Amino acid sequence: MNVPTPQQPADSRVRAGLLYGLAAYGLWGILPIYFKWLKAVPSIDIVAHRIVWSLIVLIILVSLARAWDQIRSAVRSRKAMAMLFLTALLIGTNWLLYVYAINSGHILAGSLGYYLNPLANILLGRFILKERLTRLQWTAVAIAAGGIAVLAMGALGTLWISLTLCFSFATYGLLRKIIHVESLAGLTIETALLFPLALGWLLVGGSEGRPMFGTNEQETMLLMAAGIVSTVPLLCFTAAARRLAYSTVGMLQFIAPTSQFLLAVAVYDEPFTTSHAIAFGCIWTALVLYVSSMIRDRRLQAQQECSELAES
């Protein structure tokens, strides 16, 4: 009979967090394809549809998961509601700017924002949550920062897009990590807070007096799909953020902007410069170093815990 060891519950939690993180960032990595299909629709209208249809999807999920008690508990907490109001504003701003970046031909600026985001997560994890980094992990952060600095110097005209995307989502993730509200309940409340603004915008005709459900059948179906497209990766992200060290979440996040970067260059013909090549090399070198350090530390910790168990 196997005797459970002290690290098993933590290991299971970390494995689940890694799977959620990979799912979230993998889906976000191919999201530009979806928004490019809707390039004829103004960005603010797309975001309004994301909010409206997301709330419908979330209500169904909450009912299936029987999570209404979690929502009622959060609503009764003034502190939780104040934090969720702030996170709703942050994610709404992030969504709007991201759609604008894609449909205005600035996918690379968006990918730079999400390349910056992991560094912001790692630093927030270190200085706000007091998570410790090894010397090798600090080296990885420095290499990645150097690569991003090179990339930023070649994209000063759109750097404001990158920085706003970075800080809005990094702050959103940090706040969602420290709020004691489950991912599904929290996202449902955030979406409900934004819902009146989104629905009101669509009812008055949106930004160009467009039909509320689009101008053709394909556009209508794509807009209705915004609920699933938006909620699934975000639920995976918040589930990952609650299970993993925030610095680890930061390193996983390189997956999405790398996919977006490749789409921008290979599919949508945005220019690939020398600065992009340098940044790409630096960032993936940093990722390899960080992950190697994380794996080594976990092995050492497991060996130490097994030794302590054997001695006891």
Give the H or E element holding residue 222: helix 217-224
**Three-state secondary-structure class, residue 4:** coil
pLDDT at 81: 96
Amino acid residing at 239? A
Instruction: Report the amino acid identity of residue 113.
Output: G
| 3-class DSSP state of 30 | coil
User: What is the C-alpha to C-alpha distance for residues 138 and 96, in angstroms, rounded to an integer?
Assistant: 33
Q: Which two tokens stand for residue 276?
A: 């992009």
pLDDT for the residue numbered 198 = 94
pLDDT of the residue at 209? 67
**DSSP state for residue 156 in the 8-state scheme:** G
Model-level pTM greater than 0.85? no
In tens digits, the chain (312 residues) has pLDDT values of 344 444 446 678 888 889 999 999 999 999 999 989 998 888 899 999 999 999 999 999 999 989 999 999 999 999 999 999 999 999 999 999 999 999 888 998 888 888 777 778 778 888 888 878 888 888 988 998 888 788 778 777 788 898 899 999 899 988 988 888 988 899 999 999 999 999 999 888 776 667 777 778 889 899 989 888 888 898 898 888 888 876 677 678 778 888 888 899 899 988 888 887 888 788 778 878 877 877 777 777 777 767 767 776
Q: What is the CA radius of gyration of the chain?
A: 21
User: Hey, where are the domains in the chain?
Assistant: 11-311
